[in-house]
């Protein structure tokens, strides 16, 4: 995805900050993209300046620091840059609805139906305890739903991410407060970008 | 500091018996010890209401549901949490969530702030060099907790004080943490604790927290731990 090296920059949001309103408000996007995502970029640049990671691509940094407790500061910021960039692309104004035929077939093959796939995805999003992410991924040829804690991501476990949903509280607290189920439901119905998921299938 | 009248505005004490099978439990959802708006402007009323009546209540209800009809229901909460490594996730997470929040409410007060005095004040100075050095170390731990979690001031088995941080709803009573101890002060750094007022500025929330810390309550926990 992002092959750029240091200094890493904040990728442009793929739509206006009010484009996802009312499901995700401009206020939430303002903090989430403008403050949180940006802070991960600034922190990463600060952490890697003058280190062996300074000339690496974002994905290489993530792979090189994953699972290393003494590199958690670098990994967390690098992975959160990647996760958020991927999250923005996983949403679109006017999203939701029926997945494109090729994705639908895969969902039916793996889960029996599109609805079951969505139910499994929702359940994963609701049961991620604490901060984290829910993912639709390819495991070899088959579709799977996985969840990860904090900054963790499927990239480092050999899975191919197709789309993601952020379930850190900062993703929904201003709009939904404690009602994570309402956020998950609204995003799946109205924003989820199935076309992006399909594009990510090789 | 403005003096507030303590209002017991919340639902009556919900005493809950988990002893259908003959055991004894200390599980109960106590009223918040002050009004939702009592900690303003440091912690706003909407945050307090959601935090207590939604988040904390959900942990309590889920804990009760997870314990119902199991032998675990007979044990006092602190005894239960000490065996966290052997508990089902639902009991560990919701048990921690209930204990942590109930404890957090008790170490804050509208009459809080200032500097600890007496034995506790002396112990903090002796342990950290000065009260300011303690605050700085606690703040650093609160800022560097990545994701959801808590920061604690604890008393170790040998009577020494230490600062520690736990992920999600774990706490220093649990046998899953690096260093176990008896909590005497807690700060919730889950985003739900501060996002409505402070958004991404966790540091501002931590600064505000010092204005509502009830050092008398912390001192009482300290002395009870000795």
Domain contains B32: no
Name the stretches of chain A with pLDDT < 50: 1-2
Q: Are strands B149-155 and B161-167 parallel, antiparallel or unpaired?
A: antiparallel
Same-domain pairing of A122 and A85: no
Q: Domain with A76 in it: what CATH number? A: 1.10.287.990
Chain B interface mutation, best of A25, A40, A177, A183, highest count of B Cβ atoms under 10 Å: A177
The answer to the question of residue B113 being in a domain is yes
* Parent domain of A185: 101-199
pLDDT tens digit string along B19-41? 344 344 679 999 999 999 999 99
A24-58 pLDDT, tens digit each: 999 999 999 999 999 999 999 999 999 999 999 99
Decide: A28 and B196 in contact? Cβ < 8 Å.
no
Contact (CB<8Å) A131/B148:
yes
Chain A residues near residue B191 by CB distance under 8 angstroms: 131, 168-170, 173
Which residue is listed with tokens 């889960």? Answer: A111
Q: Tens digits of per-residue pLDDT, A186-196? A: 999 999 999 99
In a domain, B16, yes or no: no
**Residue B224 resides in a domain:** yes
Q: How large is the average pLDDT for residues B189-215?
A: 98
Whether the link from the prior residue into B92 is cis, omega within 30° of 0, is no
B164, containing H or E segment: strand B161-167
> Which residue range(s) make up the domain with B223?
44-226
Q: Are residues A107 and A172 in the same domain?
A: yes
Predicted local distance difference test score (pLDDT) of residue A163 = 98
Residues A58 and A129 in one domain: no
Question: How far apart are alpha carbons B135 and B206 in whole angstroms?
Answer: 10
Same domain (yes/no): A114, A38: no
Work out the minimum CA distance from A32 to partner chain B, whole angstroms.
8
CA–CA separation, B52 and A170 (whole Å): 19
* pLDDT at res. B226: 87
Instruction: Name the binding residues of B for Mn(2+).
Output: 51, 101, 188, 192
Q: For B151-173, what is each residue's pLDDT tens digit?
A: 999 999 999 999 999 999 999 99
Tell me: do A86 and A135 sit in the same domain: no
User: Of A90, A114, A143, which closes a domain?
Assistant: A90
Q: Is A69 on the interface with B (CB under 8 A)?
A: no
DSSP B98-162: HHHHHHHHHTB-TT--S---HHHHHHHHHHHSSHHHHHHHHHHHHHH--SSEEEEEEE-TTS-EE
Question: Structurally, how many domains does chain A consist of?
Answer: 2
Helix B89-106 vs helix B57-67: crossing angle, to nearest 10: 140
Rounded to 5, what percent of chain A is helix, strand, coil?
A: 50, 10, 35
Is residue B53, in this structure, part of any structural domain at all?
Answer: yes
Task: Please tell me whether residues A75 and A107 are part of one structural domain.
Answer: no
Q: How many other β-carbons are positioned within 10 Å of the β-carbon of residue B19?
A: 12
Q: Are A24 and A187 in contact (CB under 8 A)?
A: yes
Is the minimum CB–CB distance between A180 and chain B shorter than 8 Å? no
Position A117 in a domain: yes
- Whether A186 maps to a domain, the answer reads yes
Cα separations in angstroms, B98 against A69, B20, B29, B78, B102: 29, 21, 8, 11, 6
**What CATH number should be reported for the domain holding residue A170?**
3.55.40.20
* Domain count for chain B: 1
User: B170: Cβ–Cβ under 8 A, 6 or more apart, which residues?
Assistant: B84, B92, B96, B149, B150, B176, B177
Does residue B29 sit within a domain? no
A36 neighbourhood in chain B, CB within 8 Å: 200
The answer to whether the CB atoms of B146 and A150 lie below 8 A apart is yes
User: Among A67, A90, A113, where does a domain finish?
Assistant: A90
The answer to whether B195 contacts A170, with C-beta atoms less than 8 Å apart, is yes
Last residue within a domain, chosen from A90, A111, A134: A90
Q: Which CATH number fits the domain that encloses residue B105?
A: 3.55.40.20
Q: Is residue A164 part of a domain?
A: yes
ipTM over 0.90: yes
A139 and A193 assigned to the same domain: yes
């Amino acid at each position: 995805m992002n092959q750029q090296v240091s200094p890493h920059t904040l990728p442009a949001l793929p739509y206006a900050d009010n484009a996802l309103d009312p499901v995700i408000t401009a206020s939430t996007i303002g903090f989430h993209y403008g403050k949180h995502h940006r802070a991960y970029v600034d922190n990463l640049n600060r952490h890697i300046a003058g280190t062996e990671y300074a000339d690496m691509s974002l994905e290489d940094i993530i792979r090189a620091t994953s699972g290393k407790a003494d590199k958690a500061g670098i990994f967390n910021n690098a992975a959160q840059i990647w996760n958020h960039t991927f999250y923005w692309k996983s949403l679109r104004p006017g999203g939701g609805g029926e997945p494109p035929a090729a994705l639908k077939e895969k969902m039916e093959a793996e889960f029996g139906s599109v609805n079951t796939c969505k139910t499994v995805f929702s359940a994963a999003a609701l049961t991620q305890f604490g901060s984290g992410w829910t993912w639709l991924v390819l495991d070899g040829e088959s579709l799977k739903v996985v969840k990860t804690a904090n900054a963790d991501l499927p990239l480092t476990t050999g899975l191919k991410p197709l789309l993601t949903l952020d379930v850190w509280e900062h993703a929904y607290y201003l709009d939904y407060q404690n009602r994570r189920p309402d956020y998950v439901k609204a995003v799946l119905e109205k924003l989820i970008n199935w076309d992006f998921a399909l594009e990510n299938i090789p | 500091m403005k003096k507030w009248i303590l209002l017991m505005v919340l639902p009556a004490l919900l005493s809950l018996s988990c002893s259908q099978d003959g055991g004894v439990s200390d599980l109960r959802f106590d009223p918040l010890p002050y009004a939702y708006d009592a900690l303003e402007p440091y912690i706003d009323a909407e945050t307090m209401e959601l935090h207590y009546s939604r988040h904390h209540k959900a942990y309590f209800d889920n804990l009760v549901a997870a314990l119902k009809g199991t032998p675990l229901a007979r044990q006092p909460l602190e005894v239960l949490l000490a065996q966290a490594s052997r508990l089902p996730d639902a009991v560990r997470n919701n048990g921690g969530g209930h204990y942590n929040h109930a404890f957090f409410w008790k170490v804050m007060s509208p009459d809080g702030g200032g500097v600890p005095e007496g034995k506790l004040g002396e112990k903090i100075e002796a342990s950290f060099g000065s009260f300011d050095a303690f605050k700085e170390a606690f703040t650093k731990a609160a800022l560097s907790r990545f994701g959801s979690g808590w920061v604690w001031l604890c008393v170790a088995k040998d009577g020494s004080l230490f600062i520690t941080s736990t992920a999600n709803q774990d706490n220093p009573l649990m046998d899953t943490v690096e260093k176990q101890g008896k909590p005497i002060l807690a700060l919730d750094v889950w985003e739900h604790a501060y996002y409505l007022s402070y958004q991404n500025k966790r540091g501002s929330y931590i600064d505000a927290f010092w204005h509502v810390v009830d050092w008398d309550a912390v001192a009482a926990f300290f002395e009870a731990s000795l």
